[in-house]
Amino acid sequence: MASLNFIFNLLLVAVFTAQFEISRSSKAYVVYMGSKTPQEQPDHILAQNQEILASVHGGSLEQAQKSHLYSYRHGFKGFAAILTDHQASQIAKMSGVVSVFPNLKRKLHTTHSWDFMGLIGEETMEIPGHSTKNQVNVIIGFIDTGIWPESPSFSDDDMPPVPARWKGQCQSGEAFNSSSCNRKVIGARYYMSGYEIEEEDSSNVVSYRSPRDSAGHGSHTASIAAGRYVRDMNYKGLATGGARGGAPMARISVYKTCWDSGCYDVDLLAAFDDAIRDGVHIISLSLGPDSPQGDYFNDAISIGSFHAAMHGVLVVSSVGNEGNQGSATNVAPWMVTVAAGSTDRDFASDITLGNAANISGESLSLFEMNISATIISASDVNAGYFTPYQSSFCLDSSLNSTVARGKVLVCRHAESSSESKVEKSRVVKEAGGIGMILIDEADQQVAIPFIIPAAIVGQKTGNKILSYISDTRHPTAKISSAKTVLGSQLAPRIAAFSSKGPNSLTPEVLKPDVAAPGLNILAAWSPAAMRMHFNVLSGTSMACPHVTGIAALIKAVNPSWSPAAIKSAIMTTATVLDKNRRPITVDPIGKRGNAFDYGSGFINPTKVLDPGLIYDVQPIDYKSFLCSLGYDEKSMRLVTRDNSTCNQTSTSTTSFNLNYPSITVPNLKDEFSVIRTVTNVGKPRTIYKAIVSNPVGVNVTVVPNRLIFTGYGQKIKFSVKFRVSAPSKGYVFGVLSWRSRNARVSSPLVVRVAGSSAGLMR
């Protein structure tokens, strides 16, 4: 009997161990099942999802419900659930399933800018010659960290009632209830199931289990795009003046999916699903995956934005902050992808050396030194087991306080480092230092709110300061508090951190699409994050909502335009020249920019409502594009849930012939032609002439080279032939412009001759 009890106990241990192992090996997965048909009701989709889950849980509906996280049943079909790898593999083989992928984390891509770009007005943001008052009927959805609804940027004073077509809701939660919404912020939801599954200690760090913004990022991006006019916006006295968003009378709906450590796929897809159902016109998301990006239908943002486009919703996204060639993300052709540039406003601190040299460095620090002090390289202040090289980066505990006390330290910040620059100023302060000069090896020119007198300089300037220190017996320095500087540099410039093309997933689609201000942008903030209502941030996160705001103005004037038409107007009117009419340059070394840096160019809000011609794309065109990439008929029908076919015509069309406002040929052999179609949205009777700037070593011919329009909405097709005319190295760049008496419609041409190296040329 004892032996039987022993065996029974062993069996119990084995069972519990097995259950523990299964539990431990389980994780959140997305099960994506393509479009929903008009006949499929949300409740039926939910029941279907639970049946699938039950089938991999031994028929247990109870276990299925326990593992279920979300059902996607409005804009598209699918669900999220806690599964083992084996269960995920089983579901992936089931009929009707397009893809199954793990719950990956996405990163946030973290005013004077509108004046800089030429928009006028406090509330209506009028573009000369057009009325944008209809923006009160445009609804923008922000997928981000939530919102601080009490900010003056989100006041609903003098705003009309919420549009009758709105189907969204104001979800209650911690420090947030239905009265937190108003006629400006008309919707608010939050999602955290995917976050809580992945973050074991989430209960200790989550602030506000509600749409309320505890991080600041969501409030910042929403106010850039659609914030109301604020008369005296400033950052601790810097950059004081009136500020507003691009479409200050447009409505806002927030979808809080991003928490302290990032944004998870299962939550993102739930937000997309709800936003499409709620009735937003535009979705703005300043976040994305690490590069290189995965397949379109194994990527939550690509999936969500595809179905948004199928429902007529424009998606605007950031390109990423990795800064190197080929690092562009959010590369799907059905979304607008935005790079970051500068304005002509900087935040600077003056550094005065003992030899009377005056140097300007980036800073948001309001602390200053009253008198000069000894300046020393942090490499000479190493403590304990730290080497001089390690201490040069002012790592925590790396500095000798006896040597550092009372001095200005010169520290380094590595080009690929993720360390906090503010933290370095804390390390210097705790070691007794009274000031810091930080050499940013990436020279990103991002202003930082240091906690002591401090400023950032680039590598070249930093080396001059170090030379002064080594060549001088008693070197000294004095650092002033930050000040606002207008018109001090060439602008716009492309920021050093802004991710760049080529598109690593589909090289024949140029990414980014366009550039906008993203360097040192002042906008609304959450006082829960820091005790202030406005803050200065940099990143493609800030560039994205600038384009979102402009898209809202276009939608206000042209409510029937498709997402692709709005995108085309933004791209073809962009400029590749700075305010001095010289080619836009790229930080940090000031090289001449190209289409991999800024796409079609820097956004030009004063031109977007008069594009003349547009390159329009319908949902069926994206289906043909997918066919050309190798999706077979079965896969296509799973995604679209219609009778889509990948016939010989659609596959032979190739991805080159997607009616995109830019043209990229990444493997030109002798000669190659692409087809484009333009639609007249200018004066009914207009003649356009093709003007081509040829890429180096490539001859470009346009047929026909004159387009004669006799009516509004008329479409004309043309071909662009590329022929190798001379040897070239790497990618080369040109421009095709259609010019009339009143309009200029420009498209970048990007070509790489077969067999050439991957380098870049102008």
Residues involved in catalysis: 144, 217, 541
Residue (of 44, 39, 103, 108) closest to 270 by Cα position:
103
Nearest to 264 by CA among 168, 142, 143, 420: 143
Separation CA 45–CA 706 (nearest Å): 52
Residue 723 corresponds to which amino acid?
R
For 211, the token pair is 């749409």
Residues 6+ positions from 277 with CB-CB distance below 8 Å: 74, 75, 167
Helices (H), 69-142: 85-92, 112-116
Structure tokens given for 655: 């991805």
- From residue 700, alpha-carbon distances to 61, 91, 654, 695, 749 in Å are 63, 49, 19, 8, 9
Helical segments of 166-260, H only = 193-198, 202-205, 217-226
- Residue 520: C-alpha distances to residues 219, 411, 601, 602 (Å): 16, 22, 20, 17
CB 237 within 8 A of CB 483: no
- Please compute Rg for the chain using Cα positions: 28
Tell me which residue has tokens 């900010």. 151
428 three-class SS = helix
Long-range CB contacts (within 8 A, 24+) of 67-70: 67/26, 69/28, 69/193, 69/194, 69/197, 69/266, 70/191, 70/193, 70/266, 70/267, 70/269, 70/270, 70/273
Find the length of the chain. Answer: 762
Phi (first) and psi of residue 307, to 5 degrees: -70, -30
CB count in 10 Å sphere of residue 412:
22
Which amino acid, 300? A
Number of H helices, E strands in the chain: 20, 38
H-helix segments, 329-481:
388-391, 401-404, 421-430, 459-471
Residues 6+ apart with CB under 8 A from 434: 369, 373, 406, 407, 408, 452, 453
Instruction: Tell which residue, 193, 189, 337, 211, has the closest CA to residue 271.
Output: 189
Question: DSSP assignment, residue 199?
Answer: -
C-alpha–C-alpha distance, residues 589 and 458, integer Å? 10
* 333 touches 625 (CB < 8 A): yes
Which residues of 327-449 form beta strands (DSSP E)? 336-341, 345-353, 358-362, 373-377, 408-413, 435-440
How far is Cα 735 from Cα 695, in angstroms, rounded to an integer?
8
What is the secondary structure of 530-546 as a DSSP string?
SS-SEEEE-SHHHHHHH
> Which pair of structure tokens corresponds to residue 669?
């052999």
How is residue 707 written in tokens? Answer: 């387009």
